Amino acid sequence: MKYTRTLILAVLILLVTACSGQKSTTVGSDAELEKRIEKLLSRMTLSEKIGQMNQVSAGGEISNYAEALRNGQIGSILNEVDPVKINEFQRICMEESRLGIPLLVGRDVIHGFHTIFPIPLGLAATFDPALVEEGARIASLEATAQGVRWTFSPMLDIARDPRWGRIAEGSGEDTYLDARMAEAMVRGYQGTVLDTTSMAACIKHFVGYGAAEGGRDYNSTFLTERQLRNIYLPPFEAAVKAGAMTLMTSFNDNDGVPSTGNTFILKDVLRDEWSFDGLVVTDWNSMGEMIAHGFGVDRKDVASKAVNAGVDMDMMTFGFISHLEELVASGAVKESVIDEAVRHILRVKFLLGLFEHPYVDVAQGQAVQYDQSHLEAARRTAEESAILLKNDGVLPLKADDIRTILVTGPMANAPHDQLGTWSFDGEKSHTITPLQALRERFPGKVIYVPGLRYSRENRDRFDDVVAAARRADVVLAFLGEEAILSGEAHCLADLNLIGSQSELLAALKAAGKPVVATVMAGRPLTIERDLPNCRAMVYAFHPGTMGGPALANILFGDVNPSGKTPVTFLRTVGQAPLYYAHNMTGRPYNGETLLAAIETEAGQTSLGNTSYYLDYGAYPLFPFGYGLSYTTFSYSGISLGQTVYRPDDILEVSFTLSNMGEREGTEVVQVYVRDLVGSITRPVKELKAFERVRLDAGESRSLTVRIPVSDLAFYGLDGVKKVETGDFQLWVAGDSASGEPVSFKVQ
């Protein structure tokens, strides 16, 4: 939490916020803040300190909230969003508790509060941190206006297995992209200066949770320290540097140690190496789950292990509130450990200005929700996140040539489901579905026959919808999976379009009219078998409140798609995990697939064989970073400022990007680097920079991307992070599988 809190800044902020109606929460200099924390801490009894470390849900889990608040037994409540109730909770804390310490109210505001933005995987597909920051800011404006000052977001778990349902909640498979999205969301939630619209970010789940074996939620992970440091930790470190105020432990055990009791990650890395001085909260009952893990005998035991490992606040195990006093009395937990935890909690409360501004203005809070500017931002974000995976030229559709549009598929009019997973406060009554948007745009031209009422429905005949397709000029099929099929605890072992959706698409194709498929889903589904049955496919993930208008704009060409895959799309689930930044094997795959060529009774040989599947090879359906546009881009003249760099230089790569088509478009320029020989084997490519570039039709622009050579550092054989000298290759391209490498050296 490196906020500069100088007097000058304080005055400036006061001036600005006085004009905007938001109230500054500036607490003075760092020294003053620490003085306030120490002063308050010195007045607290042990029981009051432990009370601050207790987070409870508002869902009725305790019998008397008012009494517990009055007695200083609750430091934070989650899942209360009614501003009237929140104000009352705060009043009890401020006026009736002995020390008047305000409550920290938390909520899963994951991709919007009321105005719902695309799921985080869709946000990552924009490759647009500025837009993602704007969305997070809007989520904060809406949530804080109702008294929620803490969001359990962003989720920074790298996910390389699409079976894992929570892949929807993060930024996908790539460390660099994840880190940029992490910073953007932290900035957006907390604001660049702290005021009453700041919502503390909570980076989660620390750490490795997305590497659950078999893509099955809550499963164990087995990440080495080097994998953690090179792949899984950097987004968290970036978010800490960006000022994230809080962090949540994860459910998984890594190599036998549950995160909630893992001193190495919570103390050695987080506190000692990164100097994090914010609040560490457990995941929901993850402390209690250490008993099921077999890491502690009972609740007292796991409470002791968690607090000694560095946990500050207990979410819903009631382990701290029930046992910390006796653990301190017995000497199993030092009071200094409790003091440190309470410092972390009070620091967040002071920084958010809760002591000065505990209440919200209920009427004003209502007015902020679903503001037109919020809906517009949600629409723009859904537009930028849509990925065009296939187009034989049928898109964009030309409205003038079309008299009748058939809208079909289970996701065409699914106002709840297009909001996606973890959108607790989004209301389907505010959603605009593709069907609604298209009907509004083309009154009288739209026929709607759902074909399937929901994705899992199994049907073998589609006579009604095929008959409608024959009457139409174009068929728009909205397929995918409902919100509940991804997200926490919702993993899948089969990633094909569920139910009879593939059959529906095949039947529509057979009707002979152009079919355009749009997929709304929480993960990259295995859609290879469906591609031949549509002339174009748009992948929209779950696009949120404004998904309908956004998709109509994409399909009819008001907006040129620019989204790129934030995760590798597999041909079949058996390829998982498959990700672009894999290490080079000793037998690199060369594109061969041998199943058809294997003779009967062939003798066993491995000579000349590479690392691949006999039936599916080792290439994905679509690589990371992939996405088409209604125009095409070409890269030329790629050159480096130097061919030899020192580790502290800035590498400069220059090139010309040209829009080769007849309409404007935006390309996500991506720069990948490979370190050819290292003290350990290195990934075949790693994303090191990206930039969205908008070009007019026919326009060419000279561009230069700068990358500090220090960004090529990694933890090698000696466990020290550094740039290893030697030969490198660099690609500038529109996806992770394209482009020709240029070479350079670091010495």
Q: How many CB atoms lie within 10 A of CB 251?
A: 22
Q: Is 174 in the site for ligand NOJ (CB under 6 A)?
A: no
Q: Is 152 in the site for ligand NOJ (CB under 6 A)?
A: yes
Q: What DSSP line would sit under 522-550, residue for residue?
A: SS----GGGGGG-SEEEE--S--TTHHHH
Instruction: State which residue, 134 or 283, has the beta carbon closest to ligand NOJ.
Output: 283
716: nearest Cα among 227, 269, 206: 227
DSSP strand pairing (726-733 vs 721-722): unpaired
Contact criterion met (CB below 8 Å) for 621 and 528: yes
Residue spans of alpha helices (H) in 167-211: 175-190
Contact criterion met (CB below 8 Å) for 731 and 574: no
Instruction: State which residue, 488 or 649, has the beta carbon closest to ligand NOJ.
Output: 488
Instruction: State which residue, 114 or 204, has the beta carbon closest to ligand NOJ.
Output: 204
**Catalytic: 268?**
no
- Report the C-alpha gap between 328 and 181 in whole angstroms: 41
Residues 376-435 that bind ligand NOJ (CB under 6 A): none
CB of 122 to ligand NOJ, least distance (A): 18
- Report the C-alpha gap between 449 and 445 in whole angstroms: 13
Which of residues 283, 314, 384, 482 is near ligand NOJ by CB under 6 A? 283
Contact criterion met (CB below 8 Å) for 561 and 387: yes
Site map (CB under 6 A) of ligand NOJ, residues 49-88, x = contact? ----------------------------------------
Instruction: State which residue, 169 or 183, has the beta carbon closest to ligand NOJ.
Output: 169
CB of 284 to ligand NOJ, least distance (A): 4
CB of 292 to ligand NOJ, least distance (A): 15
Which of residues 164, 284, 478, 539 is near ligand NOJ by CB under 6 A? 284
481: nearest Cα among 490, 472, 471, 469: 490
Residues 33-52 that bind ligand NOJ (CB under 6 A): none
Q: Is 204 in the site for ligand NOJ (CB under 6 A)?
A: yes
CB of 532 to ligand NOJ, least distance (A): 38
* Annotated active-site residue in 157, 178, 253, 283: 283
- Report the C-alpha gap between 540 and 550 in whole angstroms: 10
CB of 108 to ligand NOJ, least distance (A): 5
DSSP strand pairing (387-391 vs 536-539): antiparallel
Instruction: State which residue, 340 or 488, has the beta carbon closest to ligand NOJ.
Output: 488
Contact criterion met (CB below 8 Å) for 528 and 123: no
Contact criterion met (CB below 8 Å) for 382 and 431: no
CB of 201 to ligand NOJ, least distance (A): 12
Q: Is 189 in the site for ligand NOJ (CB under 6 A)?
A: no
Q: Is 655 in the site for ligand NOJ (CB under 6 A)?
A: no
Residues 95-114 that bind ligand NOJ (CB under 6 A): 108
Which of residues 356, 371, 488, 652 is near ligand NOJ by CB under 6 A? 488
Q: What DSSP line would sit under 259-305, residue for residue?
A: GGG-HIIIIIIIIIIT---SEEE--TTTTTHHHHHTS-SSHHHHHHH
- Report the C-alpha gap between 520 and 522 in whole angstroms: 7
Q: How many CB atoms lie within 10 A of CB 677?
A: 10
Site map (CB under 6 A) of ligand NOJ, residues 699-718, x = contact? --------------------
Count of residues engaged in binding ligand NOJ, rule: CB under 6 A? 6
Phi and psi at 362, nearest 5°, equal -60, -45
CB of 76 to ligand NOJ, least distance (A): 11
Dihedral, CA atoms, 428, 429, 432, 438, nearest 10 degrees? 120
Residue nearest to ligand NOJ (CB): 152
- The H or E element that residue 578 is part of is none
CB of 523 to ligand NOJ, least distance (A): 17
Active site residues: 283
- In the complex, which residues of this chain contact ligand NOJ (CB under 6 A)? 108, 152, 204, 283-284, 488
